[in-house]
Structure 1
Amino acid sequence: MMKTVQTNEAPAAIGPYSQGIIVNNMFFSSGQIPLTAAGEMVTGDVQAQTHQVFKNLQAVLKEAGASLETVVKATVFIKNMDDFGAINEVYGEYFSSHKPARSCVEVARLPKDALVEIEVIALVK
């Protein structure tokens, strides 16, 4: 059984996809970029953008009945590997005691020219 997740607390999908899907007791999020729930791009440095990405992730996780504490895998896409330290610093504020598996890759370009995008897989409570 599949269930689509949609919340107004995170930006609406900007294409033919959903904010996330629940399959059995697993939640798969779409990649979150630093858009506000109103669809405005967060200006500022990569750390400000990473905080907004986590705000969005928390909103879709909550709607799915999951949380950062139930994330089993995160994938981080960054525009510039030189930003790895700055992103990691913010990432560590959200995943401090609980440290899910993670991949981090540098990509040529992200939607809306974002500096960072993160997607997660989590257990639904």
Structure 2
Amino acid sequence: MKNKNKEKKVPEPIGPYSQSILIEKFLLISGQIPNQIDSKKIPEDISQQTKIILKKIKIILKKSNFDIKDIIKINIYITNIKEINKVNKIYKSFFTKNFVTNFPTRSCVEVSALPQNSKIEIEAMAYKK
């Protein structure tokens, strides 16, 4: 097991956990919220939050020599399931713009609250052949 918690373009975890861990051919990426290095402010709009999180996941993947097409599982935690269509629009665009034709498996769960008043948190698992 190799701790990959070194990506400087993504904020440090806000708790006692690793940003990502590499286990053989698997990269496990902890849940990402829309906090940013260059701004302490989290946008109110869930579409913007989703874009920020997916960009952070892409940065973590690339740092570990993985690509978006290597993502095999996504877990989404959302504070208002009625906003899922907005998330789906950004999510679909993210994968299709990166030439992914087979979407990863996914779960989406409504939760009562998320860290730093985020509306969404996304975690990912990738596998490299």
Q: TM-score w.r.t. structure 1 length?
A: 0.93
Shift >3 Å, 4+ stretches: none
Contact 1:42/1:48 (CA < 8 Å) preserved in 2?
Answer: no
In structure 2, what is the equivalent of residue 21 of structure 1? 21
Aligned-residue offset at 1:124: 3.5
Contact 1:78/1:106 (CA < 8 Å) preserved in 2?
Answer: yes
In structure 1, what is the equivalent of residue 109 of structure 2? 105
**Distance (whole Å) between structure 1 residues aligned to residue 111 and residue 125 of structure 2:** 20
Cα distance per residue 1:75-118 (max 9 Å; x no partner):
01101001100000000011222300000000011110101110
Counterparts in 2 of 1:25-64, with a 5 A limit? Answer: 25-38=25-38, 40-64=40-64
SS in 1 for 2:32: coil
- Quick one: percent identity of the two aligned structures? 33
| Ranges in structure 2 where 5+ consecutive residues have no aligned partner | none
Aligned-residue offset at 1:39: 5.9
SS in 2 for 1:31: strand
SS in 2 for 1:84: helix
Letter in 2 for 1:4: N
Letter in 2 for 1:77: Y
Task: Indicate whether 1:122 and 2:129 are aligned.
Answer: no
| Ranges in structure 1 where 5+ consecutive residues have no aligned partner | none
The two structures, once aligned, show a CA RMSD in angstroms of 1.3
